[in-house]
Amino acid sequence: MLQTAGCLRHVATVEEKREIVSDYLKWYIIDRNSSVIDRFREGLSTLEFLTALQQHPTLLASALCHSEKQLTAFDLEILFKPDLSPSGSNRRLKESQTMGYWADYLLDCEEGQADVSVEDVLMFATGLSSLPPSGLEPLPQIEFLDDSPFPMAKTCTNSLKLPLLDSYTLFKSQMDFGIQNSPGFGCF
């Protein structure tokens, strides 16, 4: 690799070793990728996007750059949209009650009063440990389960299925158990 990078030479001092390492890293990170960087720059120049980005660098920072914003219960609550039954139906009443349990559960997760964190809930439902800058596609949604006391998720479609249970205590324990026993993609 040093020969390919043009850095292979005899080393007599520690300073020469540092120079070789510095030269190699410059080649590895910048020089060998220069054609890719140039093509990316050309693509951004289409329709003057690169010029606009250079003139207003902070405008698209939230969409183009990842930030370590702490995930909150509110973030998840507004992110997941419920697929509710028709208004006035008996099932809709149970779904509304479950949505209340869901909001309380997310708060418990955020405050450390549940066995899982809000990041664990997001990982369970989407396969992601944090929200991407550009958002999620497809948009996450909540469905409801009659036939299982445990939550289920389809990470490909970002859908979370919540059990319809009679008490918050039972809902919380079943959510904790279900999420803890399905670590998602081998992530522990």
Structural domain includes residue 167:
yes
Based on the fold, state whether residues 54 and 84 are members of the same structural domain.
no
Q: Are residues 51 and 101 in the same domain?
A: no
- Give the tens place of pLDDT for each residue, 75-106: 999 999 999 999 999 999 999 999 999 999 99
Does 108 map to a domain? Answer: yes
Q: Are 10 and 35 part of one and the same domain?
A: yes
Indicate the residue among 64, 91, 117 that finishes a domain.
Answer: 64
Say yes or no: 139 and 93 in one domain.
yes
pLDDT at residue 68 tops 90: no
The pTM of the whole model exceeds 0.85: no
Output 127 or 187, whichever has higher pLDDT: 127
Number of folded domains that form the chain: 2
Q: Which residues are catalytic?
A: 156
Residues 158 and 85 in one domain: yes
Distance CA(41)–CA(48), nearest Å, equals: 11
**Of 118, 115, 116, 143, which is closest to residue 129 (Cα–Cα)?**
118
Any domain includes 47: yes
pLDDT value at residue 77: 95
